[in-house]
Amino acid sequence: MLSKTMLSKNRREKISDKFPFESNYADVLGSKLHYVDEGNGTTFLFLHGNPTSSYLWRNIIPFVAKNNRAIAVDLIGMGKSGKPDIPYSMADHCAYIEAFVKKLSFKDIVLVLHDWGSFIGLNYAMRNEQNTKGIVLMEGILRPWDSWDTIPAVTRRIFQKFFDPTEGQKMIYEQNFFIEKAMPYLTKRKLSKTEMDVYREPFLNKESRKPMLSFPRELPIENLNKHNAAIINAYNEWMKTTDVPVHILWAKPGSLFRKEFIPSMRKEFPKMTDFCVGNSKHYLQEDCPNEIGNAIMDWYNFSFR
């Protein structure tokens, strides 16, 4: 574990709603992936989750791009990327990102992962260890849910609705649940209208909201989605033995990576390092972007000096 004395003091820059980056597009698997490409040096590939986009990383990119190359991509069906008529399964997302990396010939990548981006990125790293320099992980998916009974009651009721053919579509297509409910609730500070409008923009039409419903329906719970459970279990085992540096960033109270979970994670993954970036729930990047930016670069400079 990195000593806190080795980490620089977090600066308190203002959290900006601006996205001052040039848009780039790559033709991938018959569609287009939107991404930003800032700076030069080691390639840091930022992968977001549900229901966000590269906009999530806007205040963190400058920390990395100062001396390195920051690539933040919108997953297929998300942000400004294409919206092909596909299931938006995790297999689809993994295929698009792997093809994206190959198309742009990224080498020795540092993966920066959040939410479902962790599934995509950790699966890639396990399959392409020789091309993975390091991993920074926030609020990731590290194990399947063995039983509905192990899920907190409120969360269980919500996710059971997602799997219901009628209720799930109502929550996503009619109520736009992840944008209008989940993001505000799982972010500590109040997101501005500008920020909320950016997150709403890709999903103004009901038909465009399919990816947001596909994500929860891909969760491996009990006997559901055993193929995804197998992938999670495989990269979980890989993390225990790999020499690729893995750094966990967490917040208080957190959501998937809660403070009380960290000691057991340190035992399970003895080679990992970790650091608390401050107070947040699930969307740490919207509450603690400057702390995250500093923590990423402190870890990188210490690990690869």
Tell me the per-residue pLDDT of 78-115, one tens digit each, with 9 for 90 and over: 999 999 999 999 999 999 999 999 999 999 999 999 99
Per residue in 244-271, pLDDT (tens digit) is 999 999 999 999 999 999 999 999 999 9
- Tell me the backbone φ, ψ of residue 27, rounded to 5 degrees: -75, 115
**pLDDT-based confidence at 154, cuts 50/70/90?**
confident
- The token duo for 153 is 């009651």
pLDDT band for 123, please (50, 70, 90 cuts): very high
Domain boundaries, the chain: 4-147+225-303
Q: Of these residues, 115, 218, 274, 298, which one is catalytic? A: 115
**Pair 237, 126: CB distance under 8 Å:** no
Residue 4 banded pLDDT, cuts 50, 70, 90: very low
Q: What is the pLDDT of residue 12?
A: 52
Largest pairwise CA distance in the chain: 54
Q: How confident is the model at residue 1 (pLDDT cuts 50, 70, 90)?
A: very low
Residue-averaged pLDDT of the chain: 94
d(CA 142, CA 258): 13
The answer to whether residue 218 is catalytic is: no
What's residue 3's pLDDT? 40
* pLDDT the model gives residue 107: 97
**Which member of 48, 114, 247, 282 is catalytic?**
282
**43-47 vs 246-253, strand pairing mode:** unpaired
d(CA 184, CA 199): 11
Query: Which one from 92, 139, 195, 218 is the annotated catalytic residue?
Result: 139
pLDDT value at position 150?
85
**CA-wise closest residue to 117 among 64, 211, 47:** 47
Task: Kindly report, residue by residue over 55-80, the tens digit of the pLDDT.
Answer: 999 999 999 999 999 999 999 999 99
CA angle, residues 300, 117, 256, in degrees to nearest 5? 90
The DSSP bridge pattern shows strands 43-47 and 109-115 to be parallel
When pLDDT is averaged across residues 9-29 and rounded to a whole number, the result is: 86
Mean pLDDT (whole number) for 270-288: 97
Residue 8 scores a pLDDT above 60: no
| pLDDT > 70: percent of the chain | 96
CATH superfamily for domain 4-147+225-303:
Alpha/Beta hydrolase fold, catalytic domain (3.40.50.1820)
Give me the mean pLDDT over the 175-186 stretch: 97
Q: Is 115 a catalytic residue?
A: yes
Examine the residue annotation and report whether 282 is marked as an active-site residue of this protein.
Answer: yes
Tokens of 149: 């009974």
What is the average pLDDT across 225-239?
97
Does 5 have pLDDT greater than 50? no
